């Protein structure tokens, strides 16, 4: 069985990355091949890195409130590069009313503050690409 690969990233001007670093460490500890791009990435740079690293999943952390603007751009970039097979998940502060919109867009998992790291580890291990 192929080992899952995930790219974690912060998108936009959001500079708060404590949560994504906790997830990064939990994934590493679970034996998952994980990359973290750091803060202030563009949708284009996230997708380019994901394709370059040949990841199965892109995990985007966002706390800025710009999720309804930035996630469509991520999906547009994936589509432009014929990489719609890459699973997209989200973490951060996302209001319930926006979760449905993101899910309809294609976001497969949305985690909020206080989510258990076991939940994301299980999701990733079950989505091996």
Please say if the pLDDT value at position 18 is more than 90: no
- Cα–Cα dist 91/64, whole Å: 11
Question: Does the pTM of the predicted model rise above 0.95?
Answer: no
pLDDT in tens, 74-100: 999 999 999 999 999 999 989 999 999
User: Measured at the alpha carbon of residue 70, what is the angle toward residues 88 and 98, in degrees to the nearest 5?
Assistant: 75
Q: How far is CA 86 from the centre of its chain?
A: 10
Judged by DSSP in three states, 102 sits in: helix
Which range marks the domain in which residue 52 is found?
A: 5-126
Specify the number of domains making up the chain: 1
CATH at residue 28: 3.40.50.280
Q: Are 44 and 28 in contact (CB under 8 A)?
A: no
Q: State the pLDDT at residue 105.
A: 96
């Amino acid at each position: 069985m192929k080992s899952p690969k995930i790219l974690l990233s912060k998108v936009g001007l959001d500079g708060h990355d404590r949560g994504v670093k906790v997830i990064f460490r939990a994934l590493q500890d679970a034996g998952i091949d994980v990359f973290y791009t750091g803060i202030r990435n563009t949708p284009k740079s996230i997708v380019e890195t994901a394709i370059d690293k040949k990841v199965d999943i892109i995990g985007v952390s966002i706390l800025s409130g710009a999720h309804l603007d930035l996630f469509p751009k991520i999906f547009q970039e994936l589509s432009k590069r014929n990489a719609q097979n890459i699973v997209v998940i989200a973490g951060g502060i996302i209001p319930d009313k926006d979760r449905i919109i993101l899910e309809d867009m294609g976001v497969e998992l949305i985690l909020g503050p206080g989510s258990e790291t076991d939940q994301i580890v299980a999701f990733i291990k079950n989505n091996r690409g």
